[in-house]
Amino acid sequence: MNLSQDRIIIRQPDDWHLHLRDGDVMKAVVVPTSRVFRRAVVMPNLQPPITSVQSAIDYRQRILHAVPKGDLFTPLMTVYLTDNISTEILREGFQKGVFFAAKLYPANSTTNSALGVINLENIFSAVETMEELGMPLLIHGEVVDDSIDIFDREKVFIERHLHPLLNRFPALRVVLEHITTEEAVEYVKTTSAKLAATITPHHLHINRNAMFQGGLRSDFFCLPVAKRERHRIALRRAATSGESCFFLGTDSAPHLRESKESSCGCAGIFNAPNAIESYAQVFEEEEALDQLEAFASVFGPNFYGLPVNEEVISLIKKPHVIPSQFQLIKGDKPFEYIVPFHAGETLNWSLDKNYN
Ligand code: NCD
Ligand code: ZN
């Protein structure tokens, strides 16, 4: 890594949690990711979800097809766990190098999770197989329970489900995805070297007030939902701490404008167009730019047992205003748009596309 007043050079980062969707949206949103990230863990919550080896192979192919010429980008595929997932499919997909990991969505916890896991006990044999194979389990860590306040669902998930799961499967490698609470930070830091967590840019920038600033702001609605300020501060400390159990995962989750602005708006924040710049801003504000490379480019591969990237990227200190829309094109015609995170705001760092 190389740091000066106005330039940051780091090993090329990877995104350990990404939603690319499918079809025309995927073709558009893969571009800002492959421009910066060398690899990304691609979430399987499509409609229908990725539950077979063949569907993951086909989806990977469609993604690779959409990557602009000249970008080196490796999508790492995940399989969507359901109550009746077969251990044979997990084994086959992992051993063939198709499934990088499996994703656990508690049923109805978030976007496209209706077919997720209703009862964790139903997947114990699958989890046992994963433990034996060394296949990582990626978890959306929120309970689905109307009696639990939405702001407490992550904390309760850790107590009720994650802790017992780790006790039962001590050799299992687990990533608690997109953590949002001080309790999750503490738990991940102190529990096991086999447990890690991803942290998104938006949870480092916003607290729950953002959703209600001057009105109802669906652009800041995601799951797990942003929490109180003390949690945001804990997440910023964790991300910039140099602790290897915390690494980059954007959870970039594009939704068309009309789906965000409906009477029942979708959860998800699209941050891919400015993700690395957004993280850089946080690390600068925390006076921890020297930790950016480890968080973005080293701790993830170390956890997953992969080599770090040899390529580098460079950011320059050049404030730029984030466009208010990310336009989607079909054929040559603009059709819909997505509002990106930081729309209309100024970020201090810009990717130097000419570097290398
Ligand atoms: C994600 C999506 O839209 O697919 N939404 C979100 O709010 N993060 C799903 C998820 O990761 O929870
Ligand atoms: Zn996600």
User: Quick check: 137 pLDDT over 80?
Assistant: yes
Ligand 1 lined by 278 (C-beta under 6 Å):
no
Q: Residue 48, preceding bond cis, omega within 30 degrees?
A: yes
* Any atom of ligand 1 within 6 Å of the Cβ of 223: yes
Whether 338 lines ligand 1, by a CB cut-off of 6 Å, is: no
Write down the pTM of the prediction. 0.98
Total domains, the chain: 1
Residue 8 domain-assigned? yes
Residue 356 lies inside a defined structural domain of this protein: no
Domain range spanning residue 237?
2-351
Ligand 1: nearest atom to the Cα of 222? 7
What is the per-residue pLDDT across 40-70, written as a single tens digit (0 to 9) for each? 999 999 999 999 999 999 999 999 999 999 9
Look at the alpha carbons of 274, 278, 284, 287 in this order and tell me if their dihedral is positive or negative: negative
Label residue 222 by pLDDT band (50, 70, 90): very high
Q: Which of 77, 81, 80, 82 is nearest to 100 (CA)?
A: 77
> For the domain that residue 26 is a member of, what is the CATH number?
3.20.20.140
User: Is pLDDT at 178 greater than 90 in this prediction?
Assistant: yes
Q: Give residue 330's pLDDT.
A: 85
Render pLDDT for 231-287 as a digit per residue (tens, 0 to 9): 999 999 999 999 999 999 999 999 999 999 999 999 999 999 999 999 999 999 999
Of the bound ligands, which one is closest to the alpha carbon of residue 41?
A: 2
Q: Is the CB of 222 under 6 A from ligand 1?
A: yes
Verify whether residue 290 is a known catalytic residue.
no
Residue 113 beta carbon below 6 angstroms from any ligand 1 atom: no
* Within a domain: 246: yes
Helix axes 124-133, 87-95, angle to 10 degrees: 20
- Average the pLDDT over 210-225 and give the result: 97
Cα 241 to ligand 2 centre (Å): 23
Number of Cβ within 10 Å of residue 5's Cβ equals: 5
Average pLDDT of the chain? 97
Residue 196: what are its φ and ψ, rounded to 5°?
-135, 175
Residue nearest to atom 11 of ligand 1 (CA): 251
d(CA 126, CA 139): 14
Whether residue 90 lies inside any domain: the answer is yes
pLDDT above 80: residue 356: no
DSSP three-state, residue 26: helix
**Residue 26 within a domain:** yes
Examine residue 272 and state whether it is found in any structural domain, yes or no: yes
| β-sheet bridge partners, residue 288 | none
Q: Choosing from 145, 149, 251, 290, which is the catalytic residue?
A: 251
- Give percent above pLDDT 70 in the chain: 100
Return the bridge partners of 40, or none.
15, 75
How far is Cα 140 from Cα 298, in angstroms, rounded to an integer?
23
C-alpha 58/C-alpha 66 separation (Å) is 13
* Cα distances (angstroms) measured from residue 228 to each of 154, 182, 196, 286: 13, 10, 22, 19
Type of residue found at 104: L
